[in-house]
Amino acid sequence: MSAEIRTARASDIDALVALENAVFDSDRISRRSFRQLIERETAETLVAEKDGCLAGYAMVLFRKGIGVARLYSFAIGPGFAGMGLGRLLLERVERVSYDHGRMMLRLEVREDNARAISLYEQNGYRRIGREADYYEDGMAALRFEKTLRGDVPVGTRVPFYEQTCDFTCGPCCLMMAMANFDRSFVPDPIREIRLWREATTVFMMSGTGGCEPFGLGVAAYENGLSAELFVSFYGALFLQSVRSEEKRRVMELAQVDFRTRAEQYGIPVHYRSFSIDDVRAALAAGKLVVVLISGYLMFGKKVPHWVLAIGDDGTHILMHDPWIEDERRETMSDAANVPVPYDIFMQMAQFGRDGLRAAIILGKPDAP
């Protein structure tokens, strides 16, 4: 009897747990996690049935708003190896990912799993990286990627850095740009906090201080980059939810200081909404663009968030997002060099009731 590939159901959980325990010695998915992932809107679990037995499964995750799917877990039962089930499951995962509008599929695999590595390579996957000490037992992971739409692999030389604090997305974008234009620069948590202190408005929304565009532009200039700002309106920013008059006063003074210093440094400022053509033109000129987005579309939180636009493939903006959601089992594959369709990118790139658009174009220092 040929194998059937179908979507997993809650009634499959016992068999999935048994298969997980039979295949993996560590890094196992728990019964509770299987249930959550089967029910999650942004995940899909496929199972392979053969002769009435659950012979294998594949679980793929879809981060909202981006063009990448990630193969989170993949297993073939010990008694079903060599029957071609892995290839069938992988083909179905690719089809499902394509149907979800994804342009590429990424995955991690143990460096010592020769059988799985061979399967991926034989099916057109490219190795894009290695992460040491990735698994519970200390084994490294190899990262692979396959383009599902188009024939040209999407690559980048811009280093990726994951933020270590909830409020340092802007400084992390600056560090990635600094590392891109100066290969001797290595981002680290100490510089991350230093840049935050240099660019922060002291208090943002109801939590820890964040960074606004003028602060980031000034910090970029003072750390050796050229900067050019787009801000959709003039005046104090991010004050809608600030109820304390004292906190509002401090934020306004900090922003006045940043605007004054930007003017003194001769940083160009455009008081208008940037367009997708502005971003594309900057990238075509070899620059990078720090863009303010709302976190709602990607991870369901109405918070201001900075990402780094690093490339343009003709239909997507490629970006590094320094935020990786551990709670959703994300890894760098979900956040680094991810393609976002132009229209979705511009939907993301506004914040608040006023639809604030802000961006900082970064490049090498201007020639004297």
Residue 250 has pLDDT above 60, yes or no: yes
The tens digit of pLDDT for each residue in 7-59 reads 999 999 999 999 999 999 888 999 999 999 999 888 999 999 988 899 999 99
User: What is the rounded CA–CA span in Å between residue 320 and residue 173?
Assistant: 8
Q: Is the pLDDT higher at 314 or at 281?
A: 281
| Residue 299 contacts residue 325 (beta carbons within 8 Å) | yes
How much of the chain exceeds pLDDT 90, in percent?
59
List the CATH code of the domain at 169-363.
3.90.70.10
How much is the pLDDT for 247?
74
Predicted confidence (pLDDT) at residue 129 exceeds the cutoff of 80: yes
Mean pLDDT over 225-250 rounds to 78
Contacts of 245 (CB under 8 A, 6+ apart): none
Average pLDDT over residues 345-353: 88
Residue pair 135/26 in contact by the 8 Å Cβ criterion: yes
How is domain 4-147 classified at the CATH fold level? Aminopeptidase (3.40.630)
Whether 209 has a pLDDT exceeding 90, the answer reads no
Q: How confident is the model at residue 205 (pLDDT cuts 50, 70, 90)?
A: very low
Asked if pLDDT for residue 1 goes beyond 70, the answer is no
Express as a percent the part of the chain with pLDDT over 70. 90
Q: What is the C-alpha to C-alpha distance for residues 49 and 318, in angstroms, rounded to an integer?
A: 38
Which residues does residue 172 pair with via DSSP β-bridges, in sequence order?
none
- The model's pLDDT over 81-105, given as tens digits with 9 standing for 90+, comes to 888 889 999 999 999 999 888 888 9
Amino acid 202: pLDDT: 58
Per-residue pLDDT, averaged over 163-186, amounts to 94
How crowded is the C-beta side of 175, counted as CA atoms within 13 Å? 24
Please report, as a single letter, which amino acid is at residue 166.
Answer: D
Residues in a beta bridge with 55: none
Find, among 271, 264, 204, 191, the residue nearest to 231 by Cα. 271
Residue 191 has pLDDT above 80, yes or no: yes
DSSP 8-state code for residue 344: H
| Average pLDDT, rounded, for the chain | 88
pLDDT digits (tens, 9 = 90+) for 291-331: 999 876 666 667 889 999 999 988 889 999 999 877 666 87
pLDDT for 10 equals 93
Domain ranges of the chain: 4-147, 169-363
Do residues 36 and 315 lie in contact, with contact meaning Cβ atoms separated by under 8 Å?
Answer: no
Q: Between the ranges 66-70, 245-249, 290-294, 332-336, where is the mean pLDDT highest?
A: 290-294
pLDDT for residue 206 is more than 50: no
pLDDT of residue 243: 66
